[in-house]
């Protein structure tokens, strides 16, 4: 059975740019939408975000 998630709890506003971001990250909703519009599926988007996050943290 699928689990329902209130998307309103996943999206917040970045205090620096005042744009919607994924809660707990600085990943913009615009970036997610852009990756989706380029034809990426959910797994590819998650991988791209995780990869860019590791580069940003210097890991």
Per-residue pLDDT in tens (0 to 9) along the chain, 59 residues: 778 878 788 899 998 889 999 988 889 999 999 999 999 999 999 998 887 654 444 43
Domains of the chain, residue spans: 12-56
Can you tell me which residue has the tokens 């380029």? 38
pTM: 0.68
Phi then psi for 20, rounded to 5 degrees? -70, 135
pLDDT of residue 2: 75
């Amino acid at each position: 059975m699928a689990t329902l998630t209130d998307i309103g709890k996943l999206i917040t506003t970045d205090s620096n740019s005042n744009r919607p971001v994924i809660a707990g990250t600085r990943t913009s909703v615009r970036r997610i939408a852009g990756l989706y519009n380029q034809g990426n599926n959910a797994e590819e988007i998650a991988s791209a975000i995780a990869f860019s996050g590791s580069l940003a943290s210097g890991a």
